[in-house]
Structure formats: C-alpha cells, structure tokens
Amino acid sequence: MPQPASTPEPSSSVPGAVHRLVDGPGGRIHLLEQGTGPLVLMIHGFPETSYSWRHQLPAVAAAGFRAVAVDVRGYGRSSAPDDVDAYRLTALVGDNVGVVHALGEETATVVGHDWGSPVAANSALLRPDMFTAAAMLSVPYAPWNPMRPTEGFARIGGSEEFYVSYFQEPGRAEAEIDPDVRGWLAGFYSALSADTMPPPDGASPFFVPSGARMRDRFPRGPLPSWLTEADLDVYSAEFARTGLTGGLNRYRNVDRDWGDLAVWDGARLTRPSLFIGGALDSSTTWMADAIAAYPRTLPGLVSSHILEGCGHWIQQERATEVNDLLTGWLHTVHA
C-alpha cells in the first residue's frame, strides 16, 4: 500500500513527529505521527489543532504505540468544505475511518478531547469493528436523547444566550473573532483554564447578554500557566490563516447530528473506554448526570477520573498526569 505523503514541517512542528497528508472522504487530512505499534488516533476539539496533543504524542509513542494526531476537517492544513452540513458527526467519523485506511491499518484506539470526545465515542459506537476502544477527555459520553439540542441549549441560557446558541448563526461569532484572532483565542483559553477562569460567582463568558459579545466577559490578564506565548503564537497563526468557521460549523450541526443518530437512541458504548475530566471544568459540572450514568451507558468503562484543580484543557494543563492515565489504560486494553 502506498505510504501517506510526508509534508514540510510547519511552524507548529512537534519534535519527533512526522507531518503527513492523507486522503479522506472530505478531502485531505493533515496529521502528526510518532512511534510504532498499535494505532492510537487522537482527535482535538475547539478551538485547537493537532498541536494540542504535543505532550501526548511522544509519551504514547514511547509507550509502544503508533501515535497519530489529526487536524479535524476545517482546521489546520486539513480540507475545509464550504457547506455547513459537511461538519456533521457522521462525516467526522468517516474521516477517522479514512485515516485508518490511509495509514494501512485495520483497527485503532481513538482518543478525543472536547468536541473530539463525541467524535471518538461515536467512532467506537458506529464502527466498533474498527475503533476497538475509546478515551474521552473533558466531555462525558451521553447517549442520544429525545430533546432537540438547540431547544435544550436555548433553555440553558435563560435571559442570556448560551454560547452554543450564540455560535449557531453563520458569520456572527466570526465577526467578533476575525479582527483579533490572537486576543480572542487567549481569552477563550483563559476562560476555561483552572488558574485564570472567572470566579464561580462571576459573570460567565459562556452566557452572552443581549447585544453583547462573548469576548466582553473574557478574563483579562496573564495567560494560563499551560499556555506559553509561543504556544499561543502557533494557535493564532493557524486560525489567522484559516479562520474559525470550520470549527464553529461543528456547533452548527448539533441538530443534524440529532437526526442522523436518532437510530442510536439510548445506545450504550460497549467498547473499552476511559474518561478523564477536570473538576473545575464546566463540561464536567454541566454534564454531571452523564458521568453518574456511566455504569449504565458505558458498560466497557475501564476507569473514570476527575482531576482536582483542573480546568478544560486537560491534556495541556495536566500533561504528565493525563499521559500516565492514558498510557496505563492503553496497556490495559492492548494487553
């Protein structure tokens, strides 16, 4: 089988990792690859890229695995289709299938963070023959339920607008992001980081008053301890080049996902799984019921961990701890 094409290393180079471009159902997929052994496919969230796995790639490779982190479609150097509905969950699962085939493999363990978590979970749910285990970071697994997502998000907001609702209209969020991509990213990362997030009794950036912008409530001050100026340069350079529409289009497909996955109503994820969340992460608190339901919804769960004092960017905030939990789990499911 022909090998995926190697590409010149960009400014976001991760030492020891090889950059490749492979063909997927939606166009090209850019990925970082390091190590040999069973394939471990890592899926980032919003607003990130394959660079967010820079601490995990060498650790997973050193543990005896072929570690691969992709740029999800719409991000980095992967293709960015114009149609909003090209970013539905089933399409991203299809991209994962395409990557596994392009790498000459038959199976993979899939690991996802943030939006990558439901992409990973649904990869194992829809294609358990290929994705034989799934790790979910920050966003818990929750089976399909009868409430249309946009209706549920509208209820969460109350008198203010929940950020997922704010993201629904194409161009609206882009209008506040594009004039200062670096500043917007710094504020968004800070708002969900343990050492820079607003106090619990403060105004949340993830609820937007009428006529306001998300960034109006972003923290102002030093960067989170996990994010260096150089790291922020990498992210901001990528998104200044591509824009954030591809990532925002993931939010704009929640109702399409709901329709696509209705046949999986209440489905349990039976493949071996792992969950790691941050105790200070709003995803963990908003979805506490989903975590409590794991004995029923994740019968293959190997272990679940809530890291005290940790925010949302878990594999970057607490890289060593996440690496230990992740590689220990990988050795368990590949024993």
Distance CA 295, CA 289 (A): 12
Q: Is the dihedral of CA 165, 198, 307, 44 positive or negative?
A: positive
> Which SS3 state, helix, strand or coil, does residue 146 take?
coil
Q: For residue 233, what pLDDT band results from cuts at 50, 70 and 90?
A: very high
5-145+265-333 homologous superfamily:
Alpha/Beta hydrolase fold, catalytic domain (3.40.50.1820)
Average pLDDT, the chain: 94
Q: What is the CA radius of gyration of the chain?
A: 19
289 is catalytic: no
Mean pLDDT of 237-251: 97
Residue showing tokens 């500043």: 183
Q: For residue 158, what pLDDT band results from cuts at 50, 70 and 90?
A: confident
Does residue 218 register a pLDDT over 60? yes
Catalytic residue among 114, 231, 257, 260: 114
Sort strands 18-24 and 27-34 into parallel, antiparallel or unpaired: antiparallel
Instruction: Tell which wins on pLDDT, 26 or 92.
Output: 92
Does residue 246 register a pLDDT over 80? yes
The strand pairing partners of 29, in sequence order, are 22
Q: For residue 109, what pLDDT band results from cuts at 50, 70 and 90?
A: very high
> What's the pLDDT at 2?
42
What is the token pair recorded at 206? Answer: 């993830």
Catalytic residue among 19, 30, 44, 312: 312
Distance CA 335, CA 333 (A): 6
Give the tens place of pLDDT for each residue, 171-203. Answer: 999 999 999 999 999 999 999 999 999 998 888
What is the token pair recorded at 42? Answer: 């890592």
Distance CA 321, CA 199 (A): 25
What is the token pair recorded at 28? Answer: 């090209």
> What's the pLDDT at 12?
56
**What are the extents of the domains in the chain?**
5-145+265-333, 149-249
> What's the pLDDT at 4?
54
- Cis peptide, bond prior to residue 47, ω within 30 of zero: yes
Q: How far is CA 24 from the centre of its chain?
A: 19
Q: What are phi and psi of 288, to 5 degrees?
A: -60, -35
114 is catalytic: yes
